[in-house]
Amino acid sequence: MLIDRGSVAREAIQAASVDIDPSTSSNLIGGEDDIRPLSQAAMDAAHALKSHAMSPVILAGLVRLFEWIAIAGVGTIIYASYLGSEFGFSVLYLSMIAGVSTAAVGIFQLLGLYTPYGLRSVVHQGLRLVGGWTVLFALMLAFGFFTNVGDDLSRVWVGLWFAVGLLVLMLYRAGVVTLVGHWTKAGRLQRSVALVGGGKDAEKLVEALRNSANSDLNLIGFFDDRGDDRSKQTCGGLPKLGCVDDAVAFARMATLDMIIVTLPVNAEKRVLDMVRKLWVLPIDIRLSAHTQKLRFRPRAYNYIGNVPFLAILDRPLADWDYVAKSVLDRVLGFAMLVALSPVMLATALVVKLDSKGPVFFKQRRFGFNNEPIGVYKFRSMYTDMCDAKANKLVTKDDPRVTRVGRFIRATSLDELPQLFNVVFKGDLSLVGPRPHAMAAKAAGGLYHDVVDGYFARHKVKPGITGWAQVNGWRGETDTLEKIERRVEHDLFYIENWSILFDLQIIAMTPLALLTKNENAY
């Protein structure tokens, strides 16, 4: 069975809504109009999860980077100390240093020295490291011999680089093993996982994962809609935390990394029903293939340890994609903050002179994973008429809006203080689905009540501008179509994200503000 992510998204029904106030310890999880209680077992499990696991991809990437620097650094220091005064700058030696360092990282990659298991095992690392390093220098000497470059290379330099480099690598790897061991004990290298579905298949999966030496999963518990006669309160020693709807609420509250659906792959309707509820979450969703009779080719599976899974949905932004977007937000956001500071100062001045009250207005809105965030804006309404919850959206010639407010809203100058959210608080991105007020309505109903799958737009951080806005879907939402088009564009952005796409939207924003502002009041 092949599951198309786009079709799942388009066909998804509205999932359970939640609004979590981190200042409370209540076990009532839900939006203001949809309070959903979680079991005490679920609350205990949620509070026990402190933070997301460190990405093994990021960890391996950093180990590679510093290993390359260490190898190149040793070769350069030995050259500078032993031959630098005689030969000065040498293109040949610097080329060899860069080439050997890069080849070393490639060989270590082939030997599995950057896998989670490879970074934890002293014996595994030591033997393969010595073998790989020795083979590398043998290949370098063979290359020098057959290309006649060897006559121009100092044998003392090669020998010292081999010996000192191996010593530095062993010490470096010993440090990596120690650090990774510490993080492993602290749970930093384990992904927090909940199961959906209990029974014998789930028990077999739990046993297989626990017996897999390379598994990095921390199994929290399971959710199941079936009663106690078909689904007991424990499964393989894991506690039952609630039904599937509770899984959505739990993932909103806890720092969950993955959900594994343990239903049979041939139970297509039940699997899709589960996915329609879970796909709004910004986490990985996997379908267990451990006990499936229907088998695919090995490369069709994702493996955790030696246990096979089918990938249904992936976290939209993970690993280096998340890092790249975060760097873009902070660097470009800071540059924009500096460049636009005169405009912001002028706007603040005219807002203050136009009407009584503060310059800034802070509104509680939906952020990443439905978390409430405080979004900053320039005040555009009279102080005694401000609507913090946006119970009534601004309309054309709205008497609550000041004279200056009409202009800064039409030109989106009122949004500029959100750069503070991007640069200093980190709860907004430059580009993403716009953060909506929690009480915002369309056609008389709350957004999440009138648009199926609305909360899926919160799988990434909200943004100051977005794909919907540059395509004209901004401002008043007096009809159902307007909010539906917004959500469609937001989901398209999430499914097709890239750094170039972000830069494209940023470049399109100024023109869109001038030509597509008919609905901005």
- 107-155 pLDDT per residue, tens: 999 998 988 777 877 777 788 999 999 999 999 888 877 777 666 778 8
477 or 467: whose pLDDT is higher?
A: 467
Tell me: do 146 and 244 sit in the same domain.
Answer: no
Under 8 Å CB-to-CB from 179, ≥6 apart: which residues? none
Q: What is the residue type of 192?
A: S
Residue-level pLDDT at 184:
78
Residue-level pLDDT at 164:
95
Residue-level pLDDT at 390:
65
166 or 234: whose pLDDT is higher?
A: 166
517 or 262: whose pLDDT is higher?
A: 262
Q: What is the residue type of 295?
A: R
Residue 91 located in a structural domain: yes
Tell me: do 214 and 343 sit in the same domain.
Answer: no
Residue-level pLDDT at 268:
72
Q: Among the listed ranges 5-14, 257-266, 335-344, 471-480, which one has the minimum average pLDDT value?
A: 5-14
Q: Which of 285, 315, 345 is the last residue of a domain?
A: 315
Nearest-angstrom CA–CA distance, 182 and 190: 12
Residue 228 located in a structural domain: yes
Residue-level pLDDT at 35:
47
SS3 240: strand
pLDDT at 25 over 80: no
Residue pair 491/280 in contact (Cβ under 8 Å)? The answer is no
CA distances from 106 to 99, 109, 200, 254 (A): 11, 5, 43, 38
Closest to 258 in 3D by CA, of 309, 201, 298, 325 = 309
CA distances from 501 to 400, 465, 506 (A): 36, 12, 9
Tell me: do 42 and 62 sit in the same domain.
Answer: no
Q: Which of 315, 350, 382 is the last residue of a domain?
A: 315
Tell me: do 276 and 237 sit in the same domain.
Answer: yes
Tens digits of per-residue pLDDT, 53-105? 678 889 999 999 999 999 999 999 999 888 766 666 778 888 889 999 999 99
Over residues 291-296, the mean pLDDT reads 57
| Residues β-bridged to residue 36 | 29
- Residues of the domain holding 290: 5-52+190-315
Over residues 248-276, the mean pLDDT reads 82
pLDDT category of residue 26 using cuts at 50, 70 and 90: very low
Single pTM value for the model: 0.79
Q: How many domains does the chain have?
A: 3
Tell me: do 216 and 325 sit in the same domain.
Answer: no
pLDDT category of residue 51 using cuts at 50, 70 and 90: low
Tell me: do 416 and 504 sit in the same domain.
Answer: yes
Residue 278 located in a structural domain: yes
What is the DSSP secondary structure assignment for residue 434, as one 8-state letter?
P
| The length of the chain, given as a count of residues | 521
Residue 327 located in a structural domain: yes
Nearest-angstrom CA–CA distance, 157 and 411: 65
Element (H, E) at 127: helix 122-147
- Complete DSSP assignment for 136-201: HHHHHHHHHHHHT-GGGS-HHHHHHHHHHHHHHHHHHHHHHHHHHHHHHHTTTT-EEEEEE--SHH
CATH, residue 43? 3.40.50.20
Tell me: do 154 and 266 sit in the same domain.
Answer: no
Over residues 473-477, the mean pLDDT reads 75
Side-chain half-sphere CA neighbours of 307 within 13 A: 24
Tell me: do 33 and 148 sit in the same domain.
Answer: no
Tokens 């949809």 label which residue?
A: 34
Nearest-angstrom CA–CA distance, 299 and 321: 23
Over residues 47-53, the mean pLDDT reads 70
Residue 331 located in a structural domain: yes
Tens digits of per-residue pLDDT, 485-498? 999 999 999 999 99
Tell me: do 173 and 125 sit in the same domain.
Answer: yes
Percentage of the chain lying above the pLDDT 70 cut:
83
Side-chain half-sphere CA neighbours of 481 within 13 A: 1
Tens digits of per-residue pLDDT, 362-417? 888 989 988 899 999 999 888 877 766 666 667 677 788 888 888 888 888 999 99
Over residues 170-183, the mean pLDDT reads 90
Residue pair 447/437 in contact (Cβ under 8 Å)? The answer is no
Nearest-angstrom CA–CA distance, 247 and 146: 63
Ramachandran bin of 30, using left for φ above 0, alpha for ψ from -120 to 50, beta for the remaining angles: left
Nearest-angstrom CA–CA distance, 469 and 109: 43
Percentage of the chain lying above the pLDDT 90 cut:
32
Q: Among the listed ranges 5-19, 72-86, 188-202, 255-269, which one has the minimum average pLDDT value?
A: 5-19
Tell me: do 395 and 460 sit in the same domain.
Answer: yes
Over residues 206-215, the mean pLDDT reads 79
Over residues 306-329, the mean pLDDT reads 89
Closest to 324 in 3D by CA, of 483, 168, 500 = 500
Q: Which of 185, 220, 247 is the last residue of a domain?
A: 185
Tell me: do 30 and 175 sit in the same domain.
Answer: no
Q: Which residues of 387-402 are buried (b: 16+ CB within 10 A; e: fewer)?
A: eeebeebbeeebeebb
Residue 521 located in a structural domain: no
Tell me: do 82 and 154 sit in the same domain.
Answer: yes
Tens digits of per-residue pLDDT, 230-257? 667 788 888 888 888 888 888 888 888 8
Residue 520 located in a structural domain: no
pLDDT category of residue 13 using cuts at 50, 70 and 90: very low
Residue-level pLDDT at 500:
95
- Complete DSSP assignment for 340-392: THHHHHHHHHHHHHHSSS-SEEEEEEE-GGG-EEEEEEE--B-GGG--TT-SS
pLDDT at 3 over 50: no
Taking each helix axis as running N to C, give the angle between helix 319-339 and helix 56-82, from 0 to 180 degrees, rounded to the nearest 10. 80
Residue-level pLDDT at 12:
35
Residue pair 135/127 in contact (Cβ under 8 Å)? The answer is no
